[in-house]
Amino acid sequence: MHELNKRGRKAAPHLLLPVVYDNFRLDAGPDLVVEKRVVVELKAVEALLPVHKAQLLACLKLSCHRLGLLVNFSGALLNQGIPAIDPLIH
Q: Which CATH number fits the domain 2-85, given the four candidates 3.40.640.10, 2.30.29.30, 3.10.20.90, 3.90.320.10?
A: 3.90.320.10
* Mean pLDDT, residues 46-58 taken together: 89
> Per-residue pLDDT for 90 more than 60?
no
Domain boundaries, the chain: 2-85
Selection from 34, 37, 49 nearest residue 81 by Cα: 49
- In this prediction, residue 52 carries a pLDDT of 92
- For all residues of the chain together, what is the average pLDDT? 81
Q: pLDDT class for 76, splitting at 50, 70, 90?
A: low
Beta-carbon contacts of 88 under 8 Å, excluding residues fewer than 6 positions away, are 66
**Residue 66: what residue type?**
R
- CA gyration radius, the chain: 14
Q: What is the rounded CA–CA span in Å between residue 29 and residue 88?
A: 19
